[in-house]
Amino acid sequence: MVKVRDIWQRLFPYGVFRTGEAVYLTFDDGPIPEVTPKVLAILDRYGVKATFFMVGENIDKHPEVYEQVVKGGHAIGNHTYNHLKGWKYPLKEYLANVAKFPKETKLFRPPYGKASFRQRRALAMQGYRIIYWDILTRDYNPKRTPEAMLAKVKRDVRPGSIINFHDSLKSNERMLAVLPQVIEFLQAQGYELRTL
């Protein structure tokens, strides 16, 4: 019997959907002063480290928030400079936008989870580790409740899960409401929460 994760791995070579035995909390689209410091406060309260896939333009706009993430001991990943949807851009332009990212990291997550095979292969050849997720909370959707997000995590989490949140204005209140509940659940289940 073919497992769903195997199908995804075949469809998206060069991408990581799950890894290891820990669980990994990830945040896309920051850093922004209205949300990222609140996420950091919650993570600090529970003694948890996470991975932040940042938009380069936001780092340039808010370097002090970027520094808070780094000083907190969290991992940083590249989410392109301008949050580009890969399938809409030619290879050279997409790679140039990834290269414009202002910090050194070899973790990469394509915005919207969309990058062409050629883009993923080229990034992998440059040494990037391309990180997707196996649990998408959809916290950016205004119709998605914190209760629904928590239920999804409870139902789908397993060793190696990569959980996708967003430290953005779109997801602000819903994500901040559910994040402590998710952490408490994962810790109660005995999962180790680590950075990628």
- Indicate the pTM of the whole model: 0.93
The SS3 of residue 15 is strand
The answer to whether residue 5 scores a pLDDT higher than 80 is no
For the stretch 64-117, pLDDT in tens is 999 999 999 999 999 999 999 988 999 999 999 999 999 999 999 999 999 999
- The highest-level CATH class for domain 4-188 is alpha beta
| Residue that is written with structure tokens 């060069």 in the block | 14
The answer on pLDDT for 153 being more than 80 is: yes
- The pLDDT tens digits for 104-117 are 999 999 999 999 99
CA distance 145 to 175: 9
Q: Which tens digits make up the pLDDT trace of 16-33?
A: 999 999 999 999 999 999
User: What is the DSSP code (8-state) at residue 152?
Assistant: H
Q: Categorize the per-residue pLDDT at 9 as very low, low, confident or very high, splitting at 50, 70 and 90.
A: low
Residues 169/35, Cβ–Cβ less than 8 Å: yes
172 confidence band (pLDDT: 50, 70, 90): confident
Residue 196 CA, distance from chain mean position: 10
- 33 contacts 58 by C-beta, under 8 angstroms: no
Q: What percent of the chain has pLDDT over 90?
A: 89
Residue 127 — very low, low, confident or very high, per pLDDT cuts 50/70/90? very high
- Token digits for 55? 């938009």
